[in-house]
Each structure stands twice: as structure tokens, then as C-alpha cells.
Amino acid sequence: VSAEREHADAGPSSSKQWMLCPASVTLSRGKPRKSSIFAQEGTAAHEVAELLIKGEPVPPYIEVEGEQIAVTEDMLDYVAPYVAFADMTEATASFFAVEQRVSLEAYFPMNRMPEPVFGTADMISYHEATRKLTVADFKYGKGVKVDAKGNTQGRTYALGAAALLAAKGFLLLNEIEILIFQPRVSPDPSKETLSRVELITWFENELKPAIARIGAGDTTENPGECQFCPRIGECRSVGRKAIEESRLAFDDGKVGGVVVPEMSSLSNEEIGAILSKAEIIENWIKGLRAEASTRIDAGQSVPGWKLVPKRAQRKWKDEEDAAKTFLKRGMTKAEVYETELRSPAGMEKVLKASGMTKEGIALVLKDLVVKESSGTTLVEDSDSRPAVSLASIFDAAPAPLLIGGAPVDDVL
């Protein structure tokens, strides 16, 4: 399992935020980055993927920041497509690495970056025959859909990977493919392909000036990508912007005039315009909730609000002990233990451990596994996923309920 990652203040994963807002780095030096159970699960899922790609055994629990995160069947299911892609890529790659540290220092004279930009790329591969570099990023989160198109994190890793390849003697690069696997949002990875010239042009025109601003200590606050900023609780600019956006969303055209219309009376255009302002308002409110929790936790009082324990769930103090107690009381194993069919990813793991080849496993699973979407989700037009067509919505609508052979509406 990989060692704890070292973090740059201006790391690739927060590049979208600091490219827009230098203050998110320059005014937050030394501030602790809040972790969450979701972030810990993400770290555990990355480690599971790394172990599977390296062909090493996966333990039932992964320790992250002192917490034991269970490796569930769901987690194995979700990492499976990324692991399968990595295995397939590795088979023909001239260079392949997972959890690879990359840095942008080679792009600056004397390797001196005005601000250190480095990070750990999930997967890098290079194919010498086609001169193609692939950078894959695995995201376990499902709250925010991440698109590969114009993805600053992927492009920053790609630049670091290209420098690493050059240092290893692989100097020729025609095509760069950036893939984002986000299995809890979409079964297929999001993809961007660009040429070396396009990547370097983006670096020169957009990334390099942003790094220079941070290196020069620019403290401009520019809201827009605030969700994971460590300063969201104290930043006035994001609050101001949220209030401005709310006012614009409900402006009736007169100075200071605000209307809160009935939702059903809004036109489609008005709903679209209001929703596109919602993100910054929601993020600010989320930040405010976190700030209130931190203050109450520290013993302060926020009028009208309190902290309560989350719903407690019963669990066995010691599973083995509990099972022994029931078996001793004469209960059968079938009464004490539940058995469930493993998920497709779980069975893949068992079949692999039994010595079966990948091709053999694929053949067995082919007719047994289906992929089902659990419904539709509302996203912005810029999202790379194809929209559901109206025809397919109607096709998927449940058949009319029949009473005595006639549709219910006809009978009632």
C-alpha cells in the first residue's frame, strides 16, 4: 500500500480553484485541510485499486488517518473497470506506473518553480509505437461529476508525466489522452484527447501565469470554485458573490427589486438561469454549516442551532463472540449467518484467485451480468454525458396498469 501522500499547497487536484483564485493558496498557507469519511473512503478505494493492479492481496480493511475503512463488495465493484483498464493498458505499454509522483519543475528555468506544483497521478502509461501518453484519474466521489474536457488536474498530471517520460528517454509525444473514471457517477470514463502543442499552449497561456501569480503572493479572491477551499468559512468574497447571485436570480428588473416567483410560473429559460447560479450559493451555505458545526464543537453558541448525535446503529461488540454465543445456545449456522451472492467484482476476485484467466472469467460472466442505470440525473449542458432522449424516457415509462384488460384510466 502506498505511503501517505505529500501535498503541495498548489496541487494538481485543486488547480481549477487556484487558477481562478490565487488567494485560495496564498491566504490559506498552513491551514488544516478538513478530511471527511468520503475522502477517507476515496483514499481506501485508491489503495484497493493500486493493490489489484499490482496483483497484491486486498485486506478486508484499509487504515486511513487512523480509521479502519471496510473494503466492501461495492467498493470492489466500483474499482473493477478502472483496474481492468489499467491491466489492459499495462500489457502493451512502453512505460506504465500507478500512484506516480509528478512535478512541473522541468518546465521552469533551472527547475525553479515560483510555487511548487507536484502531485500523485493515479495511472500513467506511454505507448512508444503510437507516441501516446494516457493519464487516468480515479475518482470515488459521487457528489460532483468531474469532466475530462478542459480538466486542469488531468492536464497538470499530463504535463508532469510528459516531463517524467522525457527524463526516461521517451521524448516523442503525439497524443495525450486524459481519462477520468468516476464509477459512482458514470459507468464509462470521461475522456479528453489533445496534442502536445495544445497541452503546451494551455500551460504557457493559462497554467504558468496562474503559478506565477501564486508565487508572487497575489491575494486576489475570485469566487467560482470555492467548494473545497480551506478558506470558505472566512472568505467575504464568496459570501458577497453568493448574495449577489441570489439577488440576480430573483431580480425583477427594478433597482433593488426582488421577486420570489411561484416555481410553476417560471419559464424554462428562467429555471435554467436560476439553477446555473445555484452552485455558488449552495457551496457558500455548505461552508456556513461546516463553520457553525466547528464553532459549536469548540463550545461556542450559534443561536437557533445545536449539534446532535447522528442516529446510532446497533452492531456487535465482537462478531466472533456473538456468533459463538448463539451457536452454543443450539442455533444452527444457517440461522446465525446470512449468505449472499457476491457482486460481479467479488466473484471476479474469487475466480482470479482460483487461477482462472481473464479471458475465461470474462466468458463466464458475459451472459450473467447486466449493467442497469438507476434513473436520470439533472446536470448542466456542458456535461459530457449524452442526454437521455425523450423517446427513451417514454420507452422506459411503466406500462399502463390494466384492470380486467382495460387501462385503469379507462375504467375509473
> Binding residues for ligand SF4, per CB under 6 A?
17, 21, 23-24, 221-223, 225-226, 229, 231-232, 235, 237-238
Sequence-separated (6 or more) residues with CB below 8 Å from residue 391: none
Beta bridge partners of 180: 137, 190
Q: How far is the CB of 410 from ligand SF4 (least distance, A)?
A: 57
d(C-alpha 149, C-alpha 153), whole Å: 11
Buried b / exposed e across 8-35, counting CB within 10 Å, b at 16+? bbbbbbbbbbbbbbbbbbbbbeeeeeee
Please provide residue 283's backbone torsions phi and psi, each rounded to the nearest 5 degrees: -65, -40
Q: Of 134 and 222, which CB lies nearer to ligand SF4 in the complex structure?
A: 222
From start to end of 71-131, where are the E strands? Answer: 95-103, 118-127
Q: Of 22 and 119, which CB lies nearer to ligand SF4 in the complex structure?
A: 22
Q: Of 40 and 222, which CB lies nearer to ligand SF4 in the complex structure?
A: 222
Q: Of 247 and 286, which CB lies nearer to ligand SF4 in the complex structure?
A: 286
Q: How far is the CB of 285 from ligand SF4 (least distance, A)?
A: 13
Radius of gyration, alpha carbons of the chain: 26
d(C-alpha 103, C-alpha 288), whole Å: 34
Handedness of CA 84, 90, 92, 96 (dihedral sign): positive
Q: Of 155 and 231, which CB lies nearer to ligand SF4 in the complex structure?
A: 231
Q: Of 21 and 121, which CB lies nearer to ligand SF4 in the complex structure?
A: 21
Q: How far is the CB of 295 from ligand SF4 (least distance, A)?
A: 18
d(C-alpha 50, C-alpha 44), whole Å: 10
Q: How far is the CB of 211 from ligand SF4 (least distance, A)?
A: 16
Could you give the C-alpha distances from 254 to 66, 250, 271, 378, in angstroms and in order? 56, 11, 20, 31
Q: Of 85 and 284, which CB lies nearer to ligand SF4 in the complex structure?
A: 284
Nearest of 379, 137, 373, 144 to residue 276 by alpha carbon = 379
From start to end of 294-353, where are the E strands? Answer: none
Q: How far is the CB of 215 from ligand SF4 (least distance, A)?
A: 17
Q: How far is the CB of 212 from ligand SF4 (least distance, A)?
A: 18
Q: Of 224 and 346, which CB lies nearer to ligand SF4 in the complex structure?
A: 224
Q: Of 94 and 237, which CB lies nearer to ligand SF4 in the complex structure?
A: 237
Task: Please give the helix or strand (H or E) that residue 68 lies within, else none.
Answer: strand 67-70
Q: How far is the CB of 232 from ligand SF4 (least distance, A)?
A: 4
From start to end of 141-296, where are the E strands? Answer: 175-181, 190-195
Q: Of 67 and 291, which CB lies nearer to ligand SF4 in the complex structure?
A: 291
d(C-alpha 160, C-alpha 101), whole Å: 8
Count the Cβ atoms, other than its own, within 10 Å of residue 372: 6
Q: How far is the CB of 292 from ligand SF4 (least distance, A)?
A: 17
Q: Are strands 132-138 and 118-127 parallel, antiparallel or unpaired?
A: antiparallel
Q: How far is the CB of 219 from ligand SF4 (least distance, A)?
A: 9
Q: How far is the CB of 226 from ligand SF4 (least distance, A)?
A: 3
- For the chain, how long is the longest CA-to-CA vector? 83
